[in-house]
């Protein structure tokens, strides 16, 4: 089992590169959509986007096992909130990958008697719930960091100096809100892995929101969010210390 998980993990970097390329194509198509001279370019971008999507589905064939294994690990976390959020997130992600694998098998002709739209919507629902749980984890950890940071003497001095140095800002912005934003920024600055994970999850959540019809957006925003999320993912692969734990 460990050897299999190690093997499938090797595709993470390639998947993120494919993902960045896919959403770059999505964004480029949106920007060129009204230019009649770019018809051939749009066809090529569509073909490249489809190729990247198919390649990513192939890379993700082993991710169901990875997610189940991750869920088994989070069951032993001592913090009950982290245990609940991360276990549910990993289980939902495993179900998402199962749906994704079934859709891949249908696309390559291995199976036929399934409803593509139904499986695709189920995949998005599981993906959405996984992201919600990850964001709940991020919010919980951020809240803990903010409480801890607010108790630090060094931060209290900096907050007092900030308000005294910016009287105009303090008079325009509600002081409690200004203090909250300063505390939030300082807390995230001290934990860059958490900041990047929050940005990634916030960007990612626009994708299922659009697919599920909860919040309709456009291909341009989807492309931008997908690109930002992909670059954060690539950065976490290149710099493992920027990957949030657990």
Instruction: Please give the pLDDT value at position 216.
Output: 87
pTM of the model: 0.88
Please give the Cα distance from 18 to 37 (Å, whole number). Answer: 27
Please give the Cα distance from 100 to 130 (Å, whole number). Answer: 14
User: How many other C-beta atoms are found inside a 10 Å radius of the C-beta of residue 157?
Assistant: 10
Is the Cβ–Cβ distance between 146 and 189 less than 8 Å? no
Helix (H, G, I), strand (E, B) or coil at 69: helix
Please give the Cα distance from 9 to 60 (Å, whole number). Answer: 10
- What residue ranges of the chain have pLDDT lower than 50? 6-7, 170-172
Instruction: Please give the pLDDT value at position 10.
Output: 60
Helix (H, G, I), strand (E, B) or coil at 224: helix
Instruction: Please give the pLDDT value at position 164.
Output: 66
Is the Cβ–Cβ distance between 28 and 52 less than 8 Å? no
Is the Cβ–Cβ distance between 217 and 210 less than 8 Å? yes
Instruction: Please give the pLDDT value at position 170.
Output: 47
Q: Which two tokens stand for residue 159?
A: 């907050």
Please give the Cα distance from 25 to 9 (Å, whole number). Answer: 25
Compute CA 152 distance to the chain's CA centroid, rounded to the nearest angstrom.
31
Instruction: Please give the pLDDT value at position 157.
Output: 75
Q: Which two tokens stand for residue 82?
A: 């982290």
């Amino acid at each position: 089992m460990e050897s299999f998980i190690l093997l499938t993990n090797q595709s993470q970097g390639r998947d993120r590169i494919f993902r960045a390329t896919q959403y770059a194509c999505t964004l480029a198509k949106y920007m060129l959509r009204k230019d009649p001279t770019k018809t051939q370019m749009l066809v090529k971008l569509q073909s490249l986007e489809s190729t990247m999507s198919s390649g990513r589905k192939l890379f993700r064939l082993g991710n169901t096992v990875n997610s189940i294994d991750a869920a088994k690990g989070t069951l032993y976390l001592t913090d009950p909130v982290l245990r609940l959020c991360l276990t549910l997130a990993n289980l939902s992600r495993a179900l998402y990958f199962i749906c994704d694998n079934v859709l891949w098998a249908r696309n390559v002709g291995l199976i036929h008697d399934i409803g593509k739209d139904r499986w695709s919507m189920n995949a998005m629902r599981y993906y959405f719930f996984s992201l919600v749980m990850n964001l709940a984890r991020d919010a919980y950890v951020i809240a803990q960091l903010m409480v801890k940071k607010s108790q630090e003497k060094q931060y209290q001095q900096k907050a007092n100096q900030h308000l005294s140095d910016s009287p105009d800002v303090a008079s325009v912005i509600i002081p409690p809100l200004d203090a909250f934003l300063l505390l939030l920024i300082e807390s995230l600055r001290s934990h860059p892995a958490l900041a990047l994970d929050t940005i990634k999850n916030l960007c990612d959540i626009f994708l299922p929101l659009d697919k599920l019809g909860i919040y309709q957006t456009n291909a341009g925003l989807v492309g931008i969010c997908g690109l930002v999320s992909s670059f954060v993912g690539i950065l976490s692969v290149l710099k493992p210390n920027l990957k949030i734990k657990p």
